[in-house]
Chain A
Amino acid sequence: MWRAPALLLGIALFGAGAAAAAPSAGEQLAFDRAKGNCLTCHDIEGGDSPGNVGPALHDMKKRFPDRAGLIAIISDETRRNPQTVMPPFRRNLILTDEEINAIVDFLYTQ
């Protein structure tokens, strides 16, 4: 009988943990290899084995206070810097406007 409370407690703890760790839509898109895949080239807190082709995505609100500017970089950075290797996510239809917005929401938590 002593097991039941422990089991219940376990469920409660696991449930709470899972709720806290549930990634946002933007985070999922940023880590998903088939979508934003930001992690392949950028260090993002909470991501495993980040790449380092591009700069780390930290302090994003401070570094990119202009939301439209950040959206423009993700949409097509080649307009600003023709030599960039960053894929033009919006221009080449890798991400929709909605998905880019969700990623920016997530980046602003970084």
Chain B
Amino acid sequence: MLRKILLLGALALGAAHPARAADTVDPKAELKAFRDYFVGRFPKVPLDDFVNGPYSMDAGLRKQWKAIEEFPPYEFAVDKGKELFSTPFANRKTYGDCFPDKGIGVRQNYPYFDAKSGEVITLELALNQCRAANGEKPLDYVEDDMAALTAYMAFTSRGKRFDIKIPDDPRALAAYRKGEEYFYTRRGQLNFSCASCHVQAAGHHIRTEVLAPALGLMAAMPIYRSEWGGMGTTSRRFVTCNSQVRAEPLAPQDELYRDVEYFLTYMGNGLPVSGPGARP
């Protein structure tokens, strides 16, 4: 099964696959293969539990986590996010005015493909687009206010199932494919792809840490990491992952990072939002 999924990845890379074309992209079949791989490898883990990352893989960690969740370290971020979210901009409008359903319980629909711009719009980007539309300066993608806002929006969406859509539009399929290629491509001095750790070595220990499975990986974002001593956005996570494999990170919310988020979140379709999460 690993061979199969790495082969899918290799096909995505297209290196030795001249027949590759945008119209051969079949996200549905790829989602099934991706999910089957994890379910087959971790038969004792209930499907919905994959959104709990390392805690779904390790009984000892799970016990610690249950204790942590008694006083969740992301609670301050949720409170702060709620406050920021409901505080009007200078023009008296609020974030809620920019989102469907006033931005409550919508996390599971992000990222989405925007036919107008031809690009993938993540929740973080949508928040800054909202600010720009209302004459406000953008927030830093890797800092606390963005983490707080996304934490609040995830919190109001907990339990809702991811429903990422890949419309029948060659640009959307191309974005998906580019994200997939990035996910399976090795990079950095350590020569790891995202898949090296989160597909191939998922569930294994690196010293005291347990590598989270790629299935459901985006569902817990943003996360409080004890290692960081604070909250981190998806942008922060991508940048630090790249640094850790000694690769040059992209700029936060670079189009390619958004494509990766599009691919990876789509792979977790049907799983429930669990964010904000707490991780070691």
Determine if B191 is an interface residue (Cβ-Cβ < 8 Å).
yes
Bound Cα distance from A87 to B3, whole angstroms:
19
Bound Cα distance from A88 to B85, whole angstroms:
47
Which residue on A lies nearest to B192, using beta carbons?
A85
Interface size range on B against A: 10 to 19
Q: Mark A40-64, 1 if CB is under 8 A from B, else 0.
A: 1100000001111100000000000
A51 x B191 contact (CB < 8 A): no
A92 x B206 contact (CB < 8 A): no
Bound Cα distance from A29 to B197, whole angstroms:
23
Identify which of residues 53-110 in chain A touch chain B, using a CB-to-CB cut-off of 8 Å: 53, 78, 83, 85, 87-88, 92-94
B191 x A52 contact (CB < 8 A): no
A87 x B191 contact (CB < 8 A): yes
Task: For B206, give its contact among A53, A87, A88, A94 (CB under 8 Å).
Answer: A53
CB contacts between A and B, total, < 8 Å: 42
Determine if B134 is an interface residue (Cβ-Cβ < 8 Å).
no
Identify which of residues 1-29 in chain B touch chain A, using a CB-to-CB cut-off of 8 Å: 2-3, 6
> Known interface pairs A53-B201, A92-B189, A94-B190. Does A85 touch B196 (Cβ–Cβ under 8 Å)?
yes
Residues of A within 8 A of B6 (CB): 83
Residues of A within 8 A of B240 (CB): none
> Known interface pairs A85-B196, A85-B201. Does A92 touch B191 (Cβ–Cβ under 8 Å)?
yes
Can you show 19 pairs from A to B with CB atoms below 8 A apart? A39-B207, A40-B207, A41-B204, A41-B206, A49-B205, A49-B208, A51-B205, A53-B201, A53-B205, A53-B206, A53-B211, A83-B2, A83-B6, A83-B200, A85-B200, A87-B191, A87-B192, A92-B190, A92-B191
Q: Which residues of chain A have a CB within 8 Å of any CB of chain B?
A: 39-41, 49-53, 78, 83, 85, 87-88, 92-94
